[in-house]
Amino acid sequence: MNTFKKLKQFYWSHKRYFFISIIFLIVTTAITLVYPIVLQKTIDDVIIAGKYDFIPFLILAYLTLMVIKGVATYIQQYTGDMFGIIAMYKLRKRLYEKLQFLPFRFYDNAKTGDIMSRLTADVQGFRHFLSYGFTEVIRFILFVGISMIVMFTYSIRLTIVTLFALPFLMVVVHKFDKKVHPAFRKVRQSFGQLNTKVQENVSGIKTVKSLSKEDFEIERFHDFNLDFRDRNIFNSNIWAKYFPLMEFIGNICIIVLLSYGGLLVINNELNPGELVAFYSLTGYIIMPIMNLGFIINMFSQAKASGERLLEILEEPNEIKEKENPIKHIEIKGEVTFNNVSLKYAGDEKAALNNITFSIPSGSVVGLIGATGSGKTSVTQLIPRFYDVTEGEVLIDGINVKDFDFYTLRSQIGFVLQEPFLFSSTIKANIAYGKPDATMEEIMDAAKRADAHNFIMELPEGYDTLLGERGMGLSGGQRQRISIARAICMNPKILILDDATSAVDMETEFAIQQAMQAVMKDRTTFIIAHRISSIKHADQILVFEEGKIVERGVHDELIKNGGPYERIYNIQYQDQVKILQQAVNK
């Protein structure tokens, strides 16, 4: 029950629904257990005694009990459902909130499909036990406990003989529980992997089709689907093996009851009605015990689901705000790195090694180097997407760890290499970082990002509804809307992470021209592979293997004969070849 204790905060505050459900469960159970007694009285005191005048009263009593039981069952099921549904709402809400604040490190290894599985199937599995499992456990205790008390009042000897088989039944149920829980946890894990596979395939369907890898993807999906099938078959095999055994033991118990009970009736030591009532009460013991397998099954699913939910809820977040952080101040944009080193979790090699530089506010700095050289890592330390392993990052002379997240990140505009747009209107996407932006501000940001013209050509302009991840737009168009979104925030620090990689050189030039005014009076970091994107920067940092190997302005670096010049020569030669080919044609 440790899993349920850890998740208690989500359901126990609404325990009134649970207790109301239990009260009416007791009512329905009591009425159900009255039936055998009424049946015994009908046989012994009415039919055998020949008192047929009581039959109308018995019919009326039965109808009354049925009505009361029906109303009580409705209230019991409704309040039980409410107990689970409210808990499910709170649990899913907390999970979603936790996912919003988990650091980038978590998402570096997380799989989208698996996270989706936890927020849907696992939450539902846990809720199912809250709504039905707890009440079924109490129903089991009530049925078995009260039935045994009534049975002892009829015949102590027959009760002892009948219950002789129950320990064997309990042993089988215990073994069933030991096997079914690990099996259900593996089923849940397999389902998460299957979800991940489907999500990845749908997201990358254009790549799949462009490379004619449909058959390959079908085969890969087949492997995940086959694993999910096999785990479910293994689970079903456990059920198929243990439930017939439990039923066999229960039937043996009934045979013993009828044989010995019949002998007692023949010897006039037990009335026929008492034997019939006894038989009914035995069913109220044996069937709940056999049903215990279903309860264990429900419990195992809920426990497996709860464990997967706790993995997210208990995921540590190393990047936290300090107590009494700096809030509501306007930064100027001076950025300083003092002996900064960074090593990502699980990596043996450091991403950054002893980086030191200072960027005055309002400056434009270009970062260039091979893939994996540390350019993006530098910019991700500024808004604290990651924390430094050693050293410190300062903004206006203040350690970034001293700011609260909103004050820090709301003044940093980020344009990522892979633009992400939400399934909403273009207007809403541009204003995402500044929800109160006016239409004039939105249009101005789009114009500066060279996006206004193509937006106006769309059927509904800025009110055009985009598909998932911006489907319906070209890569360059998505990138320009992403740039407009950052501009609309009017940030003090602007970070362009290879932001023009998805546009052609003509569009890149247009965007650069438009952004000259945007970058004025704000600190701008430009990560680029094209020297043309950073040649006009106030300072250029050249990275190799997590270190700054060169720094300066374009003209100085060209004369140094170092890595920057080699990159320039390679790109210049490529451009010359392209021009020559164009001339030859």
pLDDT tens sequence across 452-499:
988 998 888 899 888 765 567 877 788 888 888 888 888 899 988 876
The pLDDT value given to residue 583: 52
Model pTM?
A: 0.75
The pLDDT value given to residue 393: 94
In a domain, 231, yes or no: yes
The pLDDT value given to residue 581: 57
The total number of structural domains in the chain stands at 1
In a domain, 64, yes or no: yes
The pLDDT value given to residue 55: 78
The pLDDT value given to residue 516: 73
The pLDDT value given to residue 212: 66
In a domain, 321, yes or no: no
In a domain, 294, yes or no: yes
Question: How far is residue 188 CA from its own chain's centroid?
Answer: 13
In a domain, 91, yes or no: yes
The pLDDT value given to residue 355: 92
HEC string of 478-512? HHHHHHHHHHHCCCCEEEEECCCCCCCHHHHHHHH
* 88 neighbors 40 (Cβ within 8 angstroms): no
The pLDDT value given to residue 382: 93
CATH number, residue 215: 1.20.1560.10
In a domain, 327, yes or no: no
Q: How far is CA 436 from CA 315, 432, 461, in A?
A: 34, 9, 19
- Which residues, including other chains, have CB under 8 Å from residue 551's CB and lie 6 or more apart? 357, 539, 540, 541, 542
The residue to which tokens 């039944």 are assigned = 169
* 473 neighbors 425 (Cβ within 8 angstroms): no
Q: One digit per residue, pLDDT tens: the chain, 585 residues?
A: 788 888 888 888 888 999 999 999 999 988 888 888 888 788 877 778 777 777 788 788 888 888 998 999 999 999 999 998 899 899 989 988 888 888 888 887 777 778 888 888 888 888 888 888 888 888 888 888 888 888 888 888 888 877 776 777 777 777 776 777 678 778 877 877 787 777 777 666 656 665 567 787 788 888 888 888 888 888 888 878 777 777 777 777 778 777 888 888 888 888 888 888 888 888 777 777 767 767 877 888 888 888 889 988 988 888 888 888 999 899 999 999 999 999 987 788 889 999 999 999 999 999 998 888 888 899 999 999 889 999 999 999 999 999 998 899 889 888 877 778 888 888 998 998 888 889 999 999 888 888 898 899 888 889 988 876 556 787 778 888 888 888 888 889 998 887 666 566 666 676 666 677 677 788 999 998 878 788 888 999 999 989 999 999 998 888 888 888 888 888 776 555 555 555 555
Largest CA distance in the chain: 120
The pLDDT value given to residue 493: 92
- Which residues, including other chains, have CB under 8 Å from residue 328's CB and lie 6 or more apart? 407
- Check the CA dihedral 254-258-259-265 and report its sign: positive
Domain of residue 132: give its range. 2-313
- Which residues, including other chains, have CB under 8 Å from residue 1's CB and lie 6 or more apart? none
In a domain, 126, yes or no: yes
In a domain, 300, yes or no: yes
The pLDDT value given to residue 424: 84
